[in-house]
Amino acid sequence: MSEPNTPRVVPLVDQRRGPLPLPRAALEATGRMLPVGSLRDQLGRGLRDLRISVTDRCNFRCNYCMPKEVFDKDYAYLPHASLLSFEEITRLARLFVAHGVQKIRLTGGEPLLRKNIEQLIGQLAELRTPDGHALDLTLTTNGSLLARKAASLRAAGLQRITVSLDGLDDAVFRRMNDVDFPVSDVLEGIDAARQAGFGPSAGRGTGGLKINMVVKRGTNEHEILPMARHFRGTGIVLRFIEYMDVGATNGWRMDEVMPSAEVVNLIQSHLPLVQLEPSAPGETAERWGYADAQGQHDTNAGEIGVISSVTQAFCGDCNRARLSTEGKLYLCLFASNGYDLRALLRAGASDADLASALGHIWQGRTDRYSELRSALGPDTSDAGRRVEMSYIGG
């Protein structure tokens, strides 16, 4: 940990740098790649999950994502005209779905700050996979606006919500969000979401509610057990996420990472756990269920998850693409540059042109940052070139 009162030097980075050029094959094969739902990248990974950032703004200033030192009152956010419109997002999403995407997650920034977000949700909820199934449509939020928005989100067609909550202790929570926002308001939002139908033990297409807690050693690890006890038996899945080296502005240090194995061991010493099977191919969270007296999973007590993006890379079956607020396509959370799809959209590209570009971009993908970091050891020398989490979501 840093010494008390020692100022932290935070690099000023503009993540909205120039886009990557489209693959030559995509340009030469314009209109000839039809979506077939079976794309594979260079490592044999399919495309199943699309994360869409709908705003680069947030009303929190969590130091692991949007620290005040950088995102201050003078920070220049994207002008509204630069953002993809809901119609542009839906058009691209439809082509991604035709190429195999089954799950769409709306992120930010804080997505509930995007005006009329329910309209976009309604449009996306109408999309269907090639075999006629509805999408798994979900959203990640800090919960600050959830109490007033939960019912309208559900009515619009949103199926699941993930709330970021890094502790129950009000002082800790206020310190981590760095805008003096009370934890009680987030808990009120979670209750409102349950009442709106994002309830416990809900599967795909029927609703659901999860809590994500980023664990930063020296800051909030003492909140792990209180969080586990609070959500045990509620039907809400609590997931613990290792503090990640995303972007350059969060001053990431390896000694502030608490490995997921330690989190599991800590909980296990007080609340016995049993490991569960993954819920889906490419799932980032390792699942652990609370055990009964016979050592079997007590479904009434529920489960937790751990996301070990630093200590246990899961690049091998990563099936996620990310679309930024202004329409750049990123193939990895730790990428440096994205492909400018907005330029294609606004230049009058046909659906066939766009489908061809998406297909060739994914087929050329080789990204496996976390595996390389694990093999070579943490090296943040390229941090100044990596995209910020607040720009493409987690």
The pLDDT tens digits for 202-245 are 444 345 999 999 999 988 999 999 999 999 999 999 999 988 76
Q: What is the pTM of this model?
A: 0.86
**Is there a contact between 96 and 321 (Cβ–Cβ < 8 Å)?**
yes
Q: Determine the pLDDT at residue 20.
A: 74
Whole-number Å distance between alpha carbons of 267 and 246: 27
- Is residue 200 pLDDT above 90, yes or no? no
pLDDT level of residue 69 (50, 70, 90 thresholds): confident
Cα(352)–Cα(346) distance, integer angstroms? 15
Written as six digits, the tokens of 135 are 């999408």
Strands of 136-141's sheet in order across:
273-275, 286-290, 303-307, 237-242, 209-215, 160-164, 136-141, 103-107, 49-53, 320-323, 328-330, 339-340
What gap in Å lies between CA 26 and CA 127, rounded to an integer? 25
Q: What domains, with CATH codes, occur in the chain?
A: 24-207+319-392 (3.20.20.70)
Distance CA 348, CA 124 (A): 22
Whether the pLDDT of residue 70 is over 60: the answer is: yes
Q: What is the mean pLDDT of residues 242-258?
A: 70
Strands (E), 87-135: 103-107
- For residue 309, what are its two tokens? 């993006």
**Whole-number Å distance between alpha carbons of 388 and 53:** 12
Smallest CA-to-CA distance from 37 within 130, 153, 134 is with: 130
* Per-residue confidence (pLDDT) for residue 17, from 0 to 100: 56
Q: Give me the mean pLDDT over the 15-24 stretch.
A: 64
